[in-house]
Amino acid sequence: MNEETALGGVAAVPETAAAESVGGVNGEGSAPGAPHGYLGRRNDRLLLAAVAAYAILLSILMIARGISVTPDVIVVAFGLAALILGRGKLFLRDWIPFIALFFAYELMRAYADKFGLPIHVTDIVSIERIIGLGGLPTTLLQSLHQGAASNPDVLASISVIFYFLHFPLPLAIGFLLWIHRRRTYYDFVAALILLSMAAFVTYLVLPVAPPWWASEHGYVTGVLHLSQTGFNGLASFFGFHPDQYFYSYSVYSISPNEVAAFPSLHAAYPFLAFLFARRAFGKAGWLMLAYTACIWFAIVYLGEHWVVDIIGGVIYASAAYFAVTHGPVWARRFMDQAADEEIEAGVEAEDEGDAGALRRLGRRVRWALVVQGLTVTVVGALFAYGMNKLGWVGGTGTALYVLPWLAILGGLWRGAAGLVSR
């Protein structure tokens, strides 16, 4: 049910029902004396608050135990939450394609620096000096804590936490959107993928070195790479050994790209999440901007990004948001078909979750598609293992290593499509 349907039906139903419709779907005001509408809004807000608290608590526990707060772990945790909410099948249908596309992007991003184009350093440094009125913003921020390289640096440890959360918390916003406004979730995913692909093309044609890289290669002096310093501070505070750090996001380790600083996706992802949070949740969404500003400070202070990278990230995120929310009619129609709002309306009307709604809507599991998807996934996984452990067709050092991973992701997408089908 979309906003126009809910609001358009007010005159045709009793006052109490109208209040429930407006309050339950949009979270906005209801007529006086409509207790069901009030309870609907209150329960909706409690659910959103519970999910937000769940994401924050999960992140705190992971950081405290030395576990990287990475998208794969967060998605599994949200999947468990969706199962508890009775939306397990719908979660798989909506999230597996998104995660597959995102991981496919990550695989491509890792190869964006393999084309031998010149790395931009000195021109970026010149722009940074203009922004810093003669000095580098990174060194200016790092001067806030003298001796940060050798002494415990609390600011670096706090910055590392925000650095870890640059994508998991936007994922939490996506999960909130998926629960509260599923159609907006699809817009968020489309904008996220569009942003990522635009960034990939930029990395391909305009490789930019980050501050720590420029310092290590002698282009600038006085810039410290404080990420490890901050992480060591976290390890000391929470009592785990840095060597025992659990890092589950294995895609980054395949072939990391060290010269993909501009635009900063650490800056862009949270800002895109803020734009959608403001659109969906009103004033509460502005809290995401404060969090985003903290990430901007963190990535500059740690020596991970230039200020110009942040500016680029904001511009790219804003462009992706505008392109999706004000896109052509055919694109909007495609997103409507992908979201299949009939499912959302049916699930919202069912207290027992998506099982009863899907059954009433005549949706079923198409096992042929599921089996096809799982078969392709298994074949891709076997080839990935063979290339990684046995050195098949050149091993992991060639671009061919992308192919089995794309097979894995494509298989997962195919299988997910068969979970909820007409």
- Cβ–Cβ contacts within 10 Å for residue 169, how many? 24
* Digit-coded pLDDT (tens) for 44-84: 567 667 777 777 777 777 777 666 666 667 778 888 888 87
Predicted confidence at residue 373, as pLDDT, reads: 87
**What pLDDT, on a 0 to 100 scale, did the predictor assign at position 56?**
74
Task: Give Cα separations from 393 to 6, 159, 163, 253 (angstroms).
Answer: 57, 42, 36, 20
Is the pLDDT confidence value at 149 over 60? no
Specify which of 112-116, 304-308, 414-418 reaches the highest per-range mean pLDDT: 304-308
DSSP state of 221: S
- Residues 332-356: pLDDT tens digits? 888 877 777 666 665 555 555 555 5
Tokens of residue 109, six digits? 């991003």
Q: pTM of the entire structure?
A: 0.77
| Confidence band for 32, pLDDT divided at 50, 70 and 90 | very low
Say if residue 193's pLDDT is above 60: yes
> Quick one: pLDDT at residue 26?
40
DSSP string, 372-402: HHHHHHHHHHHHHHIIIII-GGGGGGSGGGH
Is 374's pLDDT higher than 50?
Answer: yes
Record the tokens describing residue 139, joined without a space.
């060194």
Identity of residue 146? Q
Sign of the alpha-carbon torsion through 239, 240, 241, 247: negative
Note the pLDDT of residue 241. 65
Q: What is the pLDDT of residue 28?
A: 40
**Greater model confidence, 338 or 328:** 328
Rama region for 119: left / alpha / beta (φ>0; ψ in -120 to 50; rest) = beta
Within 10 angstroms of residue 115's Cβ, the number of other Cβ atoms is 10
> Is residue 157 over pLDDT 60?
yes
Q: Which of 91-105, 217-231, 309-323, 383-397 has the highest mean pLDDT?
A: 309-323
Q: Give 199-213 pLDDT, tens digit per residue.
A: 988 988 899 999 999
| Beta carbons of 361 and 343 less than 8 angstroms apart | yes
pLDDT at 315: 97
Structure tokens that stand for 29 in this block: 């005001």
- The answer to whether the beta carbons of residues 276 and 288 sit under 8 Å apart is no
pLDDT of residue 224 exceeding 80, the answer is yes
Q: Which residues contact 145 (CB under 8 A, 6 or more apart)?
A: 153, 155, 156
pLDDT above 90: percentage of residues in the chain: 21
The pLDDT value recorded for residue 391 is 83
Give the pLDDT confidence score for residue 110 in this predicted structure: 62
Confidence of residue 111 (pLDDT cuts 50, 70, 90): low
pLDDT at 296 over 90: yes
Position 353 scores a pLDDT of 57
Cβ-contact 264, 91 below 8 angstroms = no
The per-residue pLDDT of the chain, averaged, comes to 76
Residue 112's closest CA among 399, 370, 419, 313? 399
**Which residues contact residue 100 at a Cβ distance below 8 angstroms, ignoring those fewer than 6 apart?**
409, 410, 412, 413, 416
As a whole number, mean pLDDT of residues 111-131 equals 84
Q: Is 57 helix (H, G, I), strand (E, B) or coil?
A: helix
Give the CA-trace dihedral at 90, 95, 100, 105, to 10 degrees: 160
